[in-house]
């Protein structure tokens, strides 16, 4: 793969003949099309493809969130590629071919903003999650108006719910879930994002709870 400032007819993206043009962070790339291989995949290659499909399928619905959450740790990668790489290495469990996501090891944001202090999670009547934490607005870099980001995943329906209406200084929030979630066990994570999204905390796994009517 090569980088270039201008192609023969200027910067381009997409496929032209046997080359592909693209750009990332203002840097333009040009590479040749890969040649198809007639060799059968090795067991290791097959397992890696299964894991990759599992991780990308899980994370794609929250890509807009993780693009903020991984912006400061992506380096030369895109935020999405960075989070996929992290979870391939740290959050896949099971034996081939039945791999699965290890929910306690899911991290949707990574950063230097002070995180959640003394988190509490409970399911309460009315298909609602009651979440609380200690207000640590006085901690270094923390601010009272940092957004409390709550991420909920329902494995039964394969759905994510994101709540960003709470603030660090609120110290608690109640999150209403859809009525059809009653009886389902949901996975919950939380982090703080600065109001301008330039700083984030490393997300924490709050735990799993069964939604009650």
pLDDT in tens, 51-72: 999 999 999 999 999 999 999 9
Report cis status (omega within 30 of 0) of the bond before 142: no
pLDDT of res. 32? 61
d(Cα 78, Cα 29) in Å, to the nearest integer?
Answer: 14
Burial of 36 per CB tally in 10 Å (0-12, 13-18, 19+): exposed
Q: Which two tokens stand for residue 7?
A: 């192609």
β-pairing, 19-24 with 100-101? Answer: unpaired
Q: Which two tokens stand for residue 66?
A: 């993780």
**Residue 1 binned pLDDT confidence (cut-offs 50, 70, 90):** very low
Q: What are phi and psi of 200, to 5 degrees?
A: -140, 160
Residue 129 and residue 152 in contact, taking contact as beta carbons nearer than 8 Å? yes
pLDDT digits (tens, 9 = 90+) for 127-155: 999 999 999 999 999 999 999 999 999 99
Q: Which two tokens stand for residue 172?
A: 């608690």
**Residue 39 binned pLDDT confidence (cut-offs 50, 70, 90):** confident
Q: Which residues contact 64 (CB under 8 A, 6 or more apart)?
A: none
d(Cα 136, Cα 152) in Å, to the nearest integer?
Answer: 23
pLDDT at 11 over 60: no
Name the residue with higher pLDDT: 24 or 93: 93
d(Cα 71, Cα 82) in Å, to the nearest integer?
Answer: 9
Instruction: Over range 28-55, report the average pLDDT.
Output: 81
pLDDT at 108 over 60: yes
**Residue 41 binned pLDDT confidence (cut-offs 50, 70, 90):** confident
pLDDT of res. 40? 82
**What strands lie across the sheet with 14-16, from one edge to the other?**
2-4, 27-32, 19-24, 14-16
CA distances from 172 to 131, 132, 190 (A): 6, 4, 12
Angle in degrees, CA 159, 153, 177, rounded to 5: 80
User: Which segments within 88-197 are labelled E, that is strand?
Assistant: 92-93, 100-101, 117-124, 128-134, 147-154, 159-167, 172-176, 185-193
pLDDT of res. 18? 57
**Residue 104 binned pLDDT confidence (cut-offs 50, 70, 90):** very high
54: helix, coil or strand? Answer: helix
């Amino acid at each position: 793969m090569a980088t270039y400032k201008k192609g023969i007819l200027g910067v381009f993206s997409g496929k032209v003949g046997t080359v592909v043009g693209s750009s990332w962070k203002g840097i333009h790339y040009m590479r040749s099309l890969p040649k198809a291989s007639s060799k059968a995949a090795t067991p290791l290659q097959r397992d890696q493809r299964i894991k990759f499909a599992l991780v990308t399928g899980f994370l794609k619905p929250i890509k807009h969130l993780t693009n903020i959450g991984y912006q400061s740790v992506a380096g030369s990668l895109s935020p999405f590629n960075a989070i996929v790489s992290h979870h391939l290495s740290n959050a896949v469990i099971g034996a081939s071919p039945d791999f699965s996501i290890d929910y306690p090891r899911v991290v949707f944001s990574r950063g230097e903003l002070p995180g959640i202090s003394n988190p509490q999670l409970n399911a309460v009547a009315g298909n609602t999650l009651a979440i609380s934490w200690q207000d640590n607005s006085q901690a270094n870099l923390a601010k009272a108006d940092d957004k409390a980001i709550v991420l909920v995943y329902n494995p039964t329906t394969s759905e994510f719910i994101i709540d960003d209406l709470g603030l660090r200084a609120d110290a608690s929030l109640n999150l209403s879930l859809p009525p059809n979630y009653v009886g389902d066990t949901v996975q919950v994570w939380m982090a703080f994002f600065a109001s301008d999204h330039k700083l984030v905390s490393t997300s924490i796994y709050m735990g799993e709870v069964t939604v009650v009517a």
